[in-house]
Chains A and B, each alone.
Chain A
Amino acid sequence: MSKTITIDGKIIPFEDGQTIMDAAMAAGVYIPHLCHQPEFTPHGSCKLCTVNVNGRNCSACTFPAMEGQDVLNETEELIEDRKKITQMLFVEGNHFCPSCEKTGNCQLQAVAYHLNMLDNHFPLFYPDREVDASHAEVMIDHNRCIFCTLCVRASHEKDGKDVFAISGRGIHKHLIVNAKSGLLKDTDIDASDQAVHICPTGALLVKRTGYQVPIGERIYDHKQIDQVALAASGSRPVAALQPSMAVGTENIKHGE
């Protein structure tokens, strides 16, 4: 018999080497996350995937699954903590969903909807952050960076380039690029790099492509982030990911 853990009382099988996140996703259990992507080395920085393992809080994306673990995932307290973390991510940057081209395709926005985040709760920082549009094809909007390091990892692990790094500590933390000038145009980044397309928010963008996907055809227009994440991870058949209809026939008479 294979090894198992329990998540919220449900028996979940795992294999040696899997994290709690890996085991959960494979079994169709969604644990909210932003800095985690299965194909990259886990980083454990966003803390959204915090679960309670035998009475102790830890990050599901970095914590190995082990026999005898009793994991709590969807408790009221953990959901409330995750919501607070998401609210802090929002107030720390400048996230204006109404005009952002990533809206509808944004994981930060989608996870906030999933957690039923209805306001910022905390005072907005309104930090003064730059837009680096110096590169011909790629743009960084630092206002929207949540320091998940996915671009750092993708550039290093997949693109073999090391274009990005995180510099500074605490509130002074910021994304930097590998160029003396500090400008994206002086790096060897290319619009086809994985690093450009991995950003969970609208911080890294391919220029001049905004709003080309109509409302109704964006990733999270008709599906919650848990459905999308589980379908993408190829776990057991939760509703398969289909290209959604524009303002499809069955939606025509029922509002957006």
Chain B
Amino acid sequence: MYEHLETAENRDSLKRVVVDPVSRVEGHGKVTLLLDADNKVQQARLHIVEFRGFERFIQGRPYWELPVLVQRLCGICPVSHHLAAAKAIDQLVGIDPENLPVSADKLRRLLHFGQVLQSHALHFFHLSSPDLLFGFESDISKRSVIAVLAEYPDIGVQGVKLRKYGQEVIRMVSGKRIHGTGAIAGGMNKSLTKAERDYLLEDIDQMIAWSAASVALIKKVHCSNLPFYDEFATLRTNYLGLTKPDGALELYHGGIRAKNEHGETIMDHIDYCKYNDYIHEEVRSWTYMKFPYLLSLGQENGWYRVGPLARVNNCDYIDTPLAEAARVEFKAHSGEAMVHSTLAFHWTRLIEVLHCAESIKTLLNDPDIMGSDLVAQGEKRYEGIGVIEAPRGTLFHHYQVDENDIVTKANLIVSTTSNNMAMNESVRQVAAEYLSGRELTEPLLNNLEVAIRAYDPCLSCATHAVGKMPLQLELVDAEGKLIDKLIKHSDGQIERDNA
């Protein structure tokens, strides 16, 4: 491992190289490298430089605003935030997942399959396919979806249309492609009309066919670049995610399962409402993103990966036939109990796209999505926890309210946060193995971004170290001269530095 590259000792004597911003990811982050005189990498870090603060400013708001307000964290996977918050506020009105009306449950699942489909399609086709089709160090003019559309028009157009279809599913269920209002406490505010259902059914077979083709494409890309694709930025880690009670792949609701690098179970079928007994978060001074870890394994060994690779690794099977066949092929390629290749995130992402498309078809043919029993009410509670498998991994929403229905406390563990340690480790590994000692060029630096991109990080969602983050405020005059400097330490102490 490469932990020694997190912090170099003689930092002042080192040359600094910055990749800012990291491109083709959601949100804003940067990578810094510190190099010695021989261009040997001494330090490599992924910094998340956005600050959001949602957990703080939703305090004082009424709880029913949460699904609509908190989804504004993100424009790519707002539905996942919307539904995680909805699951949490279901509990505030006394409704546990098993008591949600059947129609509401199925509509939410349909909504979420649309979400995962569109987000994964966006990530693979728009953001990552240029790297995978043209090579990691290809000319910069090739590294965009425009170049993909020019050279591989079929693949490009299918990607754009797959994403659009997912967006249309979202629009039919929640009224808008982005930031709709479908889920309310205890249910949904509308079901699908027959016209809406028929509209979505028109294209679903095409979507399943294109999804299957995309799985074949990534398999070909991956397997024709072995062993490189199995080794690049690869980490042997723990994996965490939700599964169904029978161990099947699950995106909307299930128990927490974690497995170690050998595929041995660390925990299984854990009620996510008790997540706090199993998962803690660590804050570090140089990034706004926290570092979660499994309490039972400790800070050093307890970090884990989430997202498509974790889910496909963790589950016993997938309950749609084409995706299950793809999963079996995928697992067989490595010959190990768990697939650790970081670039295999792409492969598993597309297996999930196929699973979503198949599941959408099943739900569209289910009359319950046009049902009228949409909302249930129970006894008021003061705490609600909602957990969901967002496209990028397990997403936790945890709220407390007072007797007046006002939010008093909120905690969010966002998917990308769980991959923080892994992304940093992958960056350090790529820096050490592919960059160290070489004359750094722009295409070479793209290797770092390829490693980060594999995780499909959503950096804007993931910056939640509210209140604990050290901050530095500098007052600079027009000539650029430093006039004053205030430093807030992670313990809340404020210091003035007039040096």
- On chain B, the residues within 8 Å of A210 by CB distance are 62, 64-65, 68, 184
Shortest CB-to-CB span from B224 to chain A, Å, is 40
CA distance A247 to B196 in the complex (A): 8
Residues of B within 8 Å of A255, CB to CB, are 171
Known contacts A133-B405, A134-B404, A252-B195; is-contact A215 B62 (Cβ 8 Å): no
Please name the residue on chain A nearest to B377 by beta carbon: A208
Interface size class of B (residues with CB under 8 A): 20 to 34
Pairwise interchain contact B176-A256, C-beta atoms closer than 8 A: yes
Q: Is B174 an interface residue (CB 8 A)?
A: yes
The residue that A212 contacts in the complex, of B172, B189, B199, B404, with Cβ under 8 A, is: B189
- Bound CA–CA A133/B72 (angstroms): 24
A131 in contact with B179 (CB, 8 Å): no
- The answer for the CA separation of A249 and B172 in the assembled complex, in Å, is 11
| CB-based contact A208/B185 at 8 Å | yes
How far is B193's CA from A212's CA once the two chains are assembled, in angstroms? Answer: 17
Q: Are B175 and A101 in contact (CB under 8 A)?
A: no
| Chain A residues with CB under 8 A of B406 | 131, 133
Contact of B65 (CB < 8 Å), options: A99, A213, A216, A256: A99
Contact B60 A131, beta carbon cutoff 8 Å: yes
Question: Contacts A101-B64, A131-B60 known; A247 to B172 CB distance under 8 Å?
Answer: yes
C-alpha gap A138/B172 in the complex (Å): 32
Q: Is B190 an interface residue (CB 8 A)?
A: yes
Contact assessment for A215 and B180 in the assembled complex, using a CB-CB cutoff below 8 Å = yes
Distance to closest chain A CB from B274 (angstroms): 27
A136: nearest residue on chain B (CB-CB)?
B404
**Chain A residues closer than 8 Å to B61, beta-carbon distance:** 131
B177 within 8 A of A: yes
Min CB distance B419 to A, Å, is 28
Point out the residues of chain B lying under 8 angstroms from A101, CB to CB: 64-65, 68
In the complex, what distance in Å separates the CA atom of A214 from the CA atom of B171?
11
Chain B residue, CB-CB nearest to A221:
B175
A20 interface hit (Cβ, 8 Å): no
Residue of A nearest to B179 (CB): A98
Instruction: Report the contact-size class of chain A (Cβ under 8 Å from the partner).
Output: 20 to 34
Closest approach, in angstroms, between the C-beta of B302 and any C-beta of chain A? 35
* Given contact pairs A252-B195, A256-B175, A211 touches B189 in the complex (Cβ within 8 A): yes
User: Is there contact, CB below 8 Å, between A214 and B175?
Assistant: yes
Distance between Cα atoms of A180 and B176 in the complex (Å): 45
Residue on B nearest A246 in the bound complex, by CB: B190
- Say if the beta carbon of B138 comes within 8 Å of chain A: no
In the complex, the chain B residue whose C-beta lies closest to that of A99 is B69
Instruction: Please tell me if B32 contacts chain A, counting CB pairs below 8 Å.
Output: no
Interface flag for A253 (CB, 8 Å)? yes
Please, which residues of chain B bring their CB within 8 A of the CB of A252? 172, 195-196, 199
Q: B148-183 vs A: 1/0 string, CB under 8 Å?
A: 000000000000000000000001101111011110
Q: Is the CB of B60 within 8 A of A215?
A: no
Interface residues of B in 52-73 (CB under 8 A from A): 60-62, 64-65, 67-69, 72
Chain A residue with the shortest CB-CB distance to B178: A256
Please report the C-alpha to C-alpha distance between residue A249 and residue B195 in the assembled complex, in whole angstroms: 6
Contact A247 B62 (CB under 8 A): no
Q: A-contacting residues of B (Cβ < 8 Å)?
A: 60-62, 64-65, 67-69, 72, 93, 171-172, 174-177, 179-182, 184-185, 189-190, 193, 195-196, 199, 404-406
CB pairs A–B below 8 angstroms (8 shown): A101-B68, A208-B93, A208-B185, A210-B68, A212-B184, A249-B193, A252-B172, A255-B171
